[in-house]
Amino acid sequence: MPIRSLGVGHRERIASHLLALDTRDRYLRFGYNAADRNILAYVDGLNFAKDDIFGIYNRKLELIAMAHLAYSVNPQFKSCAEFGVSVRPTARGRGYGARLFDRATMHASNEGVELLFVHALSENTAMLKIARKAGATVERDGSEAEAFLRLSPATLDSRVTEMLAEQMAQTDYQFKTQAKNFWDLLSGLQSVRQGIKDARHKSAA
């Protein structure tokens, strides 16, 4: 499934995605036992003008995987960014986390980022495995781990590749939106027809 960038209009779906995570998944994603209010505060605080959010939608327009690429607010570290990811349990084992990581690193490189950080719990082996596979250096400190990945400079190929990938994802999303609207309309019509049939049967009786 194509990966697309997410804007302010996707905030509600981002919240739904994160709220659907169970206690264990929330702990691994945020590093603590995040309650619903904590997740809603996180979503409300997302700055789409400063950071980049990427997501994967299924045919039902459910956000099944998302990544947050947060850029440093410190001018001394403006070439640094941090990566975080979450995938629904039902969508795991398909490589979505790794794909989102690749998409985010390519975008970060094109934006001039030189060093990408991944802060994770040491027990979050899935995330650390993705980082290591990409060539990141992982340092453990008790229950926490920090992965550092030095990114290659942007190239014409990386810029064109990202542009084409985003265009394809936007087209895919529009198609899924149209398909969902059509099936929702059809389902509504069928409900109306069934209601009319039931009313006729009651009148005949």
pLDDT in tens, 1-37: 789 899 999 999 999 999 999 999 999 999 899 999 9
Which candidate, 99, 5, 1, 130, places its Cα nearest to that of 55?
Answer: 5
Instruction: Note the pLDDT tens digit of each residue in 93-110.
Output: 999 999 999 999 999 999
| Ordered alpha helix ranges (H), the chain | 11-19, 23-30, 36-44, 96-110, 125-133, 156-204
| pLDDT classification of 46: cutoffs 50, 70, 90 | very high
Q: What's the pLDDT score for residue 45?
A: 94
Q: Are strands 144-150 and 115-121 parallel, antiparallel or unpaired?
A: antiparallel
Condensed to tens digits (0 to 9), the pLDDT of residues 6-15 reads 999 999 999 9
> 82 forms bridges with which residues in the sheet?
70, 117
Residue 185 — very low, low, confident or very high, per pLDDT cuts 50/70/90?
low
